[in-house]
Amino acid sequence: MNAKNQHNHQQKPAHFDANVVVIGAGAGGLVAAYLAAAAQAKVILIEQDAMGGECLNTGCVPSKALIHLTKTLANSRQLANVATEYAPIKLDFAKLMTQVQEVIAQIAPHDSIERYTKLGVSVLTGTARLTSPWHVEVSLATGEVHEITTRSIVIAAGARPIVPMIPGLSEGAFLTSQTLWTLRECPRRLLILGGGPMGCEMAQCFSRLGSQVILVERAARLLANEDEDVSAFVLQRFQHEGIQVYLNYQVKQIDRSLNVACVVAECEGQQVRLDVDHILLAVGRIANTEGYGLEALGIKLSKQGSIAVNGFQQTNYAHIFACGDVSNPEQLTHAAAHQAWYAVMNALFGTFKKFRLNAKLIPRTVFIEPELAFVGLNEQRAHAQGIAYRVHRYDLADLDRAIIDGVNSGFIKVLTKPHSDTILGVSIVGEHASELLAEFVLAMNNALGLGKILGTVHSYPTYTEANKYVAGVWRRTTMPKWGLRLLVAYHRWRR
């Protein structure tokens, strides 16, 4: 994506104000700025809104805080089975949401202007605009306008919720991941549009808080990017918890009367009318690519509408990089941080050595209960890519620690190359799935197979034993029959 020919006609400065300008102080931008400063580069970080971006303020942090609180509530209800006296807990929803904000406030100093200034980053609060491949114009909140010259640029402008074009879906009459946290009364009836990770997480949360939750998904399955057995597990769990799920339904119209929204959804010509108090949009996010000069420079976009980058996180300008949600359809906080390392290292040192990102081993997690965690290939992706594989599955119903804790539902499924212990991908459904996955990610990153996991001692009783047990399944199912016959003959001879 080298674009030297694109900007030969533009005046390159003889000297630069900065080695790197980073646009956006979300997960990717903060890591990029931190790394550049740690490498003793002159780095300027520009943020037009709140430090920490979507993850801290409206995404990962508040959603996981809410998930934790509602999981604690659900677990407390299990005590009714062993209590001589039990009174159900009545939550104050406003206090609950205030506590979520308190969690944000506790983490905010990690992402603050003060901290990054101490780390050696020059932080500007304002709106950035690329005026040339080496010039960034910053309109400060004070009204001043600064022009900065920079050798390299890292764009980490993030993404925003998609608002579908549905008749009657008027501005302000719906919630998104950005506005959900302003609620101070628990919705009596909540419709969630979208059965992806966010839709599933919030459906379970609000159902546990007492809302009547209706989830509408236009695909045939929840979490359609994962395997069918995962989707089926989640659907069964949701139905057991009282969440109404409408699959293969598309919302056609929304009629609003006073504080009630009538949602008209259709499946194969059959319509249903759903009366709800609030609508939460969870149909995905779109990269922020407008309003800061990308069009004028001709920076190319991908088919998904994000900034197109190569394996070095370069755009079609060799010295302009992008990372995080603005360039990655996966849109994961840890992926943004991972990409930021490659963007900055290539921006600072790419003249001498270039670093290529391996995007195949980015873990992904859905924080419902029980958790879902994945890395690498699943069965449907392997099918789509024509990759041969074998499946090794261990059910958590047999895991002692899960039985002890009363959460022995779910499974671990590992895909390997045929006739090999090389791990192609892992899908985990179960308690602490996000933690269990780390051992597999480490193994895959270091070309270690299931044999190494099988030979590793795991404490008893722990959830991590499940990783060893699924490796044991691999060993038993791949042992050649002639080898088993040989063992039988050997032991007969020994007797």
Q: Are 468 and 450 in contact (CB under 8 A)?
A: no
Last residue of a domain, one of 283, 310, 335: 283
Q: Write down the mean pLDDT value for the chain.
A: 93
Does residue 43 share a domain with residue 150?
yes
Q: Tell me the percentage of the chain whose pLDDT exceeds 70.
A: 98
Give the span between the Cα atoms of 62 and 68, in whole angstroms: 10
Does residue 250 share a domain with residue 268?
yes
Does residue 353 share a domain with residue 388?
no
Give the span between the Cα atoms of 424 and 449, in whole angstroms: 10
Give the span between the Cα atoms of 106 and 451, in whole angstroms: 42
Task: Give the closest residue to 150 by CA, choosing from 117, 177, 118, 124.
Answer: 124
**CATH number of the domain residue 404 falls in:** 3.30.390.30
pTM for the full predicted model: 0.92
Place of tokens 């062993």: 82
Give the span between the Cα atoms of 395 and 350, in whole angstroms: 47
> Does any domain span residue 385?
yes
Does residue 310 share a domain with residue 265?
no
> Does any domain span residue 475?
yes
Does residue 457 share a domain with residue 377?
yes
Last residue of a domain, one of 221, 255, 283: 283
> Does any domain span residue 464?
yes
Place of tokens 């419709």: 191
Higher-confidence residue of 346 and 75: namely 346
The sheet carrying 372-376 orders its strands as 364-366, 372-376, 423-429, 411-416, 390-395
Domain count, the chain: 3
> Does any domain span residue 26?
yes
- Judge if the upstream peptide bond of residue 370 is cis by omega within 30 degrees of 0: yes
Does residue 235 share a domain with residue 194?
yes
pLDDT digit string (tens) for 169-215?
A: 876 689 999 999 999 999 999 999 999 999 999 999 999 999 999 99
Angle between helices 27-38 and 333-349 (to 10 degrees): 40
Does residue 144 share a domain with residue 15?
yes
> Does any domain span residue 80?
no
DSSP tally for the chain: helices H, then strands E = 15, 20
> Does any domain span residue 166?
no
Q: Are 373 and 360 in contact (CB under 8 A)?
A: no
How does residue 225 score in pLDDT terms, banded at 50, 70 and 90? very high
Alpha carbons within 13 angstroms on the beta-carbon side of residue 493 total 6
User: Residue ranges of the alpha helices (H) in 350-425?
Assistant: 379-385, 400-405
> Does any domain span residue 325?
yes
Does residue 153 share a domain with residue 189?
no
Give the span between the Cα atoms of 108 and 424, in whole angstroms: 37
**CATH number of the domain residue 153 falls in:** 3.50.50.60
User: DSSP letters of 74-95?
Assistant: HHHHGGGGT-SS-------HHH
Does residue 452 share a domain with residue 375?
yes
Last residue of a domain, one of 262, 283, 304: 283
Does residue 272 share a domain with residue 298?
no
Provide the domain limits for residue 318: 4-51+112-161+286-360
Q: What is the pLDDT of residue 491?
A: 87
Task: Give the closest residue to 53 by CA, choosing from 8, 122, 104, 18.
Answer: 104
> Does any domain span residue 492?
no
Q: Are 369 and 234 in contact (CB under 8 A)?
A: no
Does residue 137 share a domain with residue 9?
yes
Phi, then psi, of 83 in degrees rounded to 5: -95, 145
Mean pLDDT calculated for residue range 375-394:
97
